Structure 1
Amino acid sequence: MQKGDFPWDEKDFRYLAVAAAGAGSTLLYLYFRDNGREISWKDFVHRYLGRGMVDRLEVVNKQYVRVILMPGADAEGSYVWFNIGSVDTFERNLETAHLELGMETSRRPAVVYSSESDGSFLMSMIPTLLLIGFLLFTLRRGPMGAGPRGGRGGPFGMSESTAKMMKDNIEVKFKDVAGCEEAKLEILEFVNFLKNPQQYQDLGAKIPKGAVLSGPPGTGKTLLAKATAGEADVPFITVNGSEFLEMFVGVGPARVRDMFAMARKNAPCILFIDEIDAVGRKRGGGNFGGQSEQENTLNQLLVEMDGFNTATNVVVLAGTNRPDVLDPALMRPGRFDRQIYIGPPDIKGRASIFRVHLRPIKLDPNVDKDTLARKMAAATPGFTGADIANVCNEAALIAARHLHPHVGHKDFEQAIDRVIGGLEKKTQVLQPMEKKTVAYHEAGHAVTGWFLQHADPLLKVSIIPRGKGLGYAQYLPREQYLYSREQLFDRMCMMLGGRVAESVFFGRVTTGAQDDLKKVTQSAYAQVVQFGMSEKVGQVSFELPRQGEMVLEKPYSEATAELIDDEVRALVERAYARTLQLVQEKKDLVELVGKRLLEKEVLDKADMLELLGPRPFEEKSTYEEFVEGTGSLDEDTSLPDGLRDWNRERSGGKPDDDDEAAADARDKQQAG
């Protein structure tokens, strides 16, 4: 055990030694002192009092009498003692004994009264003292006590910041973060300022004081902050926003002050506040009097960030996936000057992220890592960095579960199914009629999407139960950000294909289409309320309430609400009518796919081509097709100049592996 591992310091041990010595001395004295010998009243009268061996009597604590004997009267001890019921009874019995023995008044032993401790009180207090000592130790050294830097203990230690400071041994670097090159370039500017501040100050430039990293969960905000710490040769102080809020009033502001004092002391440095929305929410939202602990903590944070000047060299980074709830005063220039949005990666970004997570995985020697990364990127639209890391980990787990020597392409396909659809339930018992209904339901989805121009290409359809669903179909959405009315309408028709197929083939409907109807309703309301795609409602846009959010007052009138409901219902009915017409036209193909699903349970795109023939519309299914006409085929070749210069500087003026690959790709592109 090294010094500093044990939470007690030298001063604590001195106090402990003094207390232990005092208590030990008292207990030893009480244990080894002469306790005399107990006798009865009859022995006292006939053996000691009647023979004249008593020097004096001491009534102690009104409980017992200590008989002090004449010197040399008894070799067994210096005194004997006996218990008494009460002092009055003892005095009467003693007077009676004197009269019976005929003792003269001058020869009678003197009686004195005294009180002393026998140690019982101290012994009874030991458990209480131990409990108080344990509570004091917990307050001094517990989670709410001393901070990570070993500061003061007791209740005063709760005001110390729980921030952790790292200076070295941070393994995450910029090369481990992919899919957000523009965000890395923004962060890189902060790192360069901290390492070369004079370069900016000579030109009169002022570096922004802070930046907020925002975006959906799993896109790499915290990972990017860790990579910043790994690349910068400055201290990195990290804290979570919820750690400022305690049950004691005033702890949050005190911890904010202590954290910024630590940052100034270690400047230049980077201060990272993760999940800042826990403490940075808008003020005045239902807090009585505006004096809540969260608001006081936020006010202290605003004051401390104003205290930074351009010469402080402290950069504050913050991470959140809810920037809409942050207080405007926190986001103004001079505090968090920049808002860096890190969204879900596109197909190029996903390929780069797959390359990062494929590094530690033992792949099949016949599988090219770069080719696999591109193929997986095309098959995982909408996945974030965390989802991709989960896919790679699941693939390795599946390969290990089946005792494969390497992780192959089949393992990755099963991992994608596991992440999208959930755990496969092969043992779930379905009645024959239920299984047939599920097969025709999924066949309706597949055939409808196959013959709709704007529907997404089908990758796989399965009737094996996964997660909460009894079947699922996997599609390959286009990499696009703008959708037309026709595209949204075709998607609605494709989602209604399962319900229509049930109605056409069985003359009834089931609860299996509940999720499809929910998506259709959301899409219809979004078109009418948000996107202005209804002629009757007009070119207006209202914000739809989030799931679980209570709306007290709608931003439109009752007449407009009725008009919106009518338009949504008409839109869904048009989509249902078109889907019904299409399913009736392709009824034989739906039945063919449904029967094949009952036989094989899983159909891929090759099976669909065999059953339905080529799709009558052009579609993209490979990485190269998706990125055609959008720039380079590889994200690394379109690396921003700032990052390329940074990599070259870190490698001593020589291009690193990524730069060499980028240079080779550019040469081949120019030659082509």
Structure 2
Amino acid sequence: MNQHVTTPPDLLARAYLDMLAADAGTNGSPMLRSENPNDQIEHLIRDLSTAPESAGRTSIRADLAAVAILVARAIEPVEELTRDLRRRNPVVVLATHGAEVVSLVQEVLETCAFGNECHVHDERNFDAAHYTRPVLLLVRDGTASDHKPERGNGAIARALHAGAPVFGAAPDPRRHLPRDLLRASEHDLSLAQLDASAIALVIEAVTGKRPNIDINDQLVRAVDISDLALSIRAGRSADDCVRRLETIVSNKSVFDHRGPSLEELSGYGAAREWGLNLISDFQEYKAGRLHWDCIEKGLLLAGPPGVGKTSFAKALAKSANVPLVATSVADWNAASFLSGTLTALKSCFTQARRLAPCILLVDELDGISDRTKLLNSEYREYWTQIVNLLLEQLSGVDERPGVVVIGATNHPDHIDPAIRRAGRLDRTIELGLPDAESLAAIFRFHLGADLRDIDLIPAALAAAGRTGADVEAWVRRAKSHARRAQRAVTMDDLLHEVRSGRTVLPENLRRACAIHEAGHLIVGVALEVFRPKALSILDEGGTTQFELSRANAQTERGIENFITALVAGRAAEEVVLGASEATAGAGVGSKSDFARATDAAVDLELRFGFGEYGVACFSDRITDLLLPDPSILGRVKDRLDRCHARARGLIQKNLETVQAAASRLEATGYLDRVAIEDLLKKWPVKT
């Protein structure tokens, strides 16, 4: 009667594990076990290896075991390849995950793949004359300068002529291995990703037992081969290894969801709206109710340093409950050679695909040069290869389902235009400096329970023009100062750090600023030039924030209304304080009220077709030549005087409203949109 024999899964992987264990002199139980002398498994063991007497270490390393399993899984499905590697002369190319596993792949291949009678050589010492069965093994991790297609082709030719097996392994064979090896290849293989069964088999190989508890999907997606060596060891139970692996993976930075969620962040405007929509789409995608094609897959965040581009990505990942893979162009360029840079770039996208759904943040994206600006540069070829690979990774949307790429940059105009084309990072959102309300919210977040019932607008006004990163630093220093003094932090501590010795506005100038901004407000509203957002008194002066109306912005009347609103600050000072007490603030700097009003008046005369010259539009050079003409200067002055007089008239007509707005602004330092609307309901503006 024939005895039925059940063949365990991963037959070749188990054989490889036994060979590695025998080579290392371990004393663990064999992975292939059978009591039947006619069992095909026993024949395979005898055919593939002869194990020496075991002694010494108790098990093989977990990371080596994992790579052995993956290499075996790549080879075993190819018919006869397992035996051909030992008896014939196949030509094989294997794509590995990344540079970090290449040396392990080499160890597995040398020990397991070719047989004991083979002599394995690399491209530098291949010698077919003195060995019965030479093997050419080219293993390149992509980090050396000679890991490129132009190197090693001579060795390929010699090995093929000698009838030797040729095996090449690299993270990116097309970029790292000899060109002729790829042309001659008969089998193009790639390492699969670790799955639950592979992890369980690693645990069995190291501990001698298979785990009884489930290995969840998130663990499988997030685990790196290097994690296995940290968590799976002989002497631990199989289940303990799983639990330890879960702990190590959960502590990875990609799952670090400390810090605020996107819903808690302030001052992100359109970026916040985009992020909230993505969070909703991620939820639907993970639930299987939304196809990946329907989701925006790329965003370019632009803005000055410190506005929170990285914080945005972290908060978005937290709210979406997905991993965040964070990298930068500087990280890629840390490699010594171009091949290493390309490997690092590709590895980030590979990791992101493995962790999908996730967010991939690429910081300092402007660090990749624009090829159009390197036409005659010696670095053009270098950067072209980097840009091309990045475009390849960004364009492969179908190959990275679940991966949303966010690029961050301080200089969007420095980025190669191809990166921003449709299907890549085709959506750009500018992050500006936070306004007073946003700054107050950022202060509140970093202060936590400190100053719980204190209005933080004064600190926000003192911090105008600065970033969330600045706020974090100020709060940290203020808390440190209070801690050394052994007391609770105060608003004075905070303002001291924010101002850093900068003096506050004197009382008389604070009063003038309040009147000045109230003048802008009342005239702007009366002429429907803008919709007010906020009035502020800062340490260096006042400011009016508004949304400019576009309804009449292109007409002569509309532009004159804008000029009138610009000069209304000085007009209010003259009416309320008297001409002799008016300040010079309206004329300080190239962006001052007077400068902008004068530019608009000149444009009306010489560019927009509303002046004495009719529809002529003069260039800057001609305008500079014409302006000294007394007749032109006179017309510009007349227009400005007319607008100034009109502003004074509106201030006089609405004097009570101006004074009410100025008094509130002087007292609080800040009026938001709601406060302005309430004030104008009580004191309506007369036109």
Tell which structure's C-alpha radius of gyration is larger: 1
TM-score for the superposition, normalised by structure 1: 0.46
Give me the TM-score of the superposition, normalised by structure 2.
0.45
